């Protein structure tokens, strides 16, 4: 999380509320140790090293801290603040590839037969072809992708805004979450505020060409306000929901909000 960028003015109030949540939700022993370290926004983001070493409770305690962390990030998220953008000269070529499998196993999805499925709290459920997606207003952005594995790279993505798409399908914009399923069994979900953020794109292009297979053909969600694992490639289905779902890496312990 970059606190100098995202909403510093209500940071104190958020820390106070988070302290209250920790009192209510964490088991006694871990709570004492966690609070003893001094509660700062930075501290809330550091899930390791919080001094909880009893194996049985550590998992639950860390998961609860992670959910409080999600809540803090949600509170600090200001939809009017934009992630930094860069000149074309800074684009990384070639751009790094990453997935939970090797590059030789990238799914090959047929463009003609592709239909993006839409479900959940939406008025219109008809599946969308690539041509229909391309008919929405197109935006291009040069932004930095940050992977928790220790690398970052600047890339250029183009396509419609997820917010425009959600409005076009008559999504309930007061719903809490937007979830996605991908062609390679990857999945994730995001908060509605991020889904409606003006820089959250249904990326159909990379570097002004149709998204190559390794970067997520036929479409990925490009969310420059979130870490790499919250940028799903090969998206096949989008659903709007009030039920909390995590994601492929989030189910293995990565923080759900995943702000960058
Ligand atoms: N479908 C799918 N999307 C995914 C992943 C994946 O394994 N499958 N990996 C995520 C992670 S951890 C990263 S860093 C980025 C990598 O995207 P890139 O190959 O365009 O660099 O994709 C994200 N989205
Ligand atoms: Mo990543």
CATH code, 216: 3.90.420.10
- Cα distance between residue 49 and residue 14, in whole Å: 22
First to last CA, the chain: 5
* Listed residues 22, 46, 76: the one ending a domain: 76
Are 141 and 207 in a shared domain?
yes
pLDDT of residue 13: 79
Are 113 and 163 in a shared domain?
yes
Are 115 and 208 in a shared domain?
yes
Instruction: Give yes or no for a contact between 65 and 43, defined as CB atoms under 8 angstroms apart.
Output: no
Q: Which atom of ligand 1 sits closest to the CA of residue 97?
A: 19
DSSP-based three-state secondary structure for 241: strand
DSSP-based three-state secondary structure for 2: coil
Residue 95's domain comprises 88-252
Any atom of ligand 1 within 6 Å of the Cβ of 177: no
pLDDT of residue 33: 60
pLDDT of residue 49: 43
Any atom of ligand 1 within 6 Å of the Cβ of 96: yes
pLDDT of residue 53: 53
Are 101 and 189 in a shared domain?
yes
pLDDT of residue 5: 42
pLDDT of residue 51: 47
Burial 27-54 (b: 16+ CB within 10 A, else e): eeebbeebeeeeeebebbbeeeebebee
- Cα distance between residue 228 and residue 241, in whole Å: 22
Q: Which atom of ligand 1 sits closest to the CA of residue 215?
A: 20
In the predicted model, residues of the chain with pLDDT beneath 50 are 1-7, 45, 47-52
What are the backbone angles phi and psi of residue 118, rounded to the nearest 5°? -130, 130
Are 61 and 188 in a shared domain?
no
Q: Which atom of ligand 1 sits closest to the CA of residue 95?
A: 21
In a domain, 17, yes or no: yes
Are 187 and 164 in a shared domain?
yes
């Amino acid at each position: 999380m970059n606190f100098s960028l995202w909403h510093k003015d209500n940071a104190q109030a958020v820390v106070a509320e988070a302290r209250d949540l920790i009192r209510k939700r964490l088991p006694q022993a871990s709570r004492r140790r966690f609070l003893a370290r001094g509660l700062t926004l930075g501290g809330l983001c550091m899930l390791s090293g919080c001094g909880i070493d009893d194996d049985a409770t550590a998992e639950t305690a860390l998961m609860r801290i992670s959910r409080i962390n999600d809540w803090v990030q949600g509170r600090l998220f200001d939809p009017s603040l934009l992630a930094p953008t860069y000149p074309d000269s800074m684009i990384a070529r070639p751009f790094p590839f990453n997935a939970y499998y090797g590059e030789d196993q990238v799914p090959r999805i047929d463009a003609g037969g592709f239909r993006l499925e839409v479900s959940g709290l939406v008025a219109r459920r008809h599946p969308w072809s690539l041509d229909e997606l391309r008919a929405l207003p197109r935006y291009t952005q040069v932004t930095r992708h940050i992977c928790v594995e220790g690398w970052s790279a600047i890339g250029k993505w183009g396509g419609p805004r997820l917010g425009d798409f959600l409005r076009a399908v008559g999504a309930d914009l007061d719903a809490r979450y937007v979830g996605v399923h991908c062609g390679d069994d990857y999945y994730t979900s995001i908060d509605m505020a991020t889904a409606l953020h003006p820089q959250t794109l249904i990326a159909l292009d990379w570097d002004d060409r149709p998204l190559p297979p390794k970067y997520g053909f036929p479409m990925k969600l490009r969310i420059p306000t979130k870490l790499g694992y919250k940028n799903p490639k090969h998206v096949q289905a989008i659903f709007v929901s009030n039920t909390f779902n995590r994601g492929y890496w989030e189910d293995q312990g990565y923080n759900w909000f995943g702000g960058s």
